[in-house]
Amino acid sequence: MNDDQLLRYSRHLLLPEIEVAGQEKLLNAKVLLIGLGGLGSPIAMYLTAAGVGELVIVDHDRVEMSNLQRQIIHRTRALGQPKAESAAEALWAMNPDTRITAITHKLDEEQLTEQANQADLIIDATDNFTTRHLINRVSVATSTPLVSGAAIRFEGQITVFDRRQDDSPCYHCLYPDNGDENLTCSESGVISPLVGVIGSMQALEAVKLLAGQPTLHGRLLMFDGLYSQWQTLKLSKDNHCPVCS
Ligand SMILES: [Zn+2]
């Protein structure tokens, strides 16, 4: 680390759980982030500020007026621009240590697998079950840890799937139904700062995982934003899961 970096990351270096070794791990890490919406906004911003070395950001949508209420990485002037591009511009200005690659088209399973094989971690910040199950299959097939989060209305949840640990469940163990239940914010609504809470938690889990610290692996953290209550559920592997067993 150079002098600028020692100063920039000084509040990390003071933490015995991070120190120089942990920060070096962050600076050498590559993260694949899918989704630059409400969850992806704080995730991308915190990972960049925290000094993650390389961030591949994927989103094939364009910035719409109805996104701006909660997708805080995008500016009003970015309306109509691909989200991955708009996000990349904000991230470039934040931290020169983080290399940003923006992918503005939809990745199929093969392309996603190729990206996952080069990444230390995948973060799911998408909003539909089809994509979530696709990301999960790729995470399991490539044994790349996955930080998963979801937010809708006033409710959110976060967990970490880490195949490198024994008896790790996967997203399909938790949500076996790959049917057409596709509840999204566009139909149900979502309260603005909720995506900040859940996305920031995902960023926290990601940073800890990369730095070799404890994560939510094996537990699902659920947040009721209306009554401000957190709950933790223990997750276990489904021994008949067609994806991971
Ligand atoms: Zn499974």
In order, the DSSP letters of 43-82 are HHHHHHHTT-SEEEEE---B--GGGTTT-TT--GGGTTSB
CA within 13 Å, CB half, 131:
22
Which long-range contacts does 80-84 make (Cβ < 8 Å, 24+ apart)? 83/36, 83/37, 83/59, 84/36, 84/57, 84/58, 84/59, 84/60
Pairing of the two strands 219-224 and 54-58? unpaired
| pLDDT for position 179 | 59
| pLDDT for position 3 | 97
Whole-number percent of the chain with pLDDT over 90: 91
| pLDDT for position 166 | 81
pTM above 0.85? yes
Q: Which of 27, 50, 36 is nearest to 87 (CA)?
A: 36
Spot the catalytic one: 170, 185, 241, 244.
185
- Give the pair of three-digit tokens for residue 36: 């630059």
Condensed to tens digits (0 to 9), the pLDDT of residues 79-108 reads: 999 999 999 999 999 999 999 999 999 999
- The rounded Å distance from CA 112 to ligand 1 centre is 19
Whether 185 sits among the annotated catalytic residues: the reply is yes
| pLDDT for position 182 | 62
Condensed to tens digits (0 to 9), the pLDDT of residues 122-131 reads: 999 999 899 9
- The rounded Å distance from CA 171 to ligand 1 centre is 6
| pLDDT for position 165 | 87
- The rounded Å distance from CA 220 to ligand 1 centre is 14
- The rounded Å distance from CA 138 to ligand 1 centre is 12
- The rounded Å distance from CA 209 to ligand 1 centre is 20
| pLDDT for position 183 | 65
Task: For the chain, 245 residues long, give each residue's pLDDT as a single digit of tens.
Answer: 999 999 999 999 999 999 999 999 999 999 999 999 999 999 999 999 999 999 999 999 999 999 999 999 999 999 999 999 999 999 999 999 999 999 999 999 999 999 999 999 999 999 989 999 999 999 999 999 999 999 999 999 999 999 888 889 999 999 987 555 666 767 789 999 999 999 999 999 999 999 999 999 999 999 999 999 999 999 999 999 999 99
- The rounded Å distance from CA 59 to ligand 1 centre is 25
| 30-34 sheet: strands from edge to edge | 99-103, 54-58, 30-34, 121-124, 146-152, 155-161, 219-224, 229-234
- The rounded Å distance from CA 30 to ligand 1 centre is 25
CA 81 – CA 65 distance, rounded (Å):
11
Q: Which domains does the chain have, with CATH numbers?
A: 3-234 (3.40.50.720)
- The rounded Å distance from CA 9 to ligand 1 centre is 37
Instruction: Check the CA dihedral 190-194-198-203 and report its sign.
Output: positive
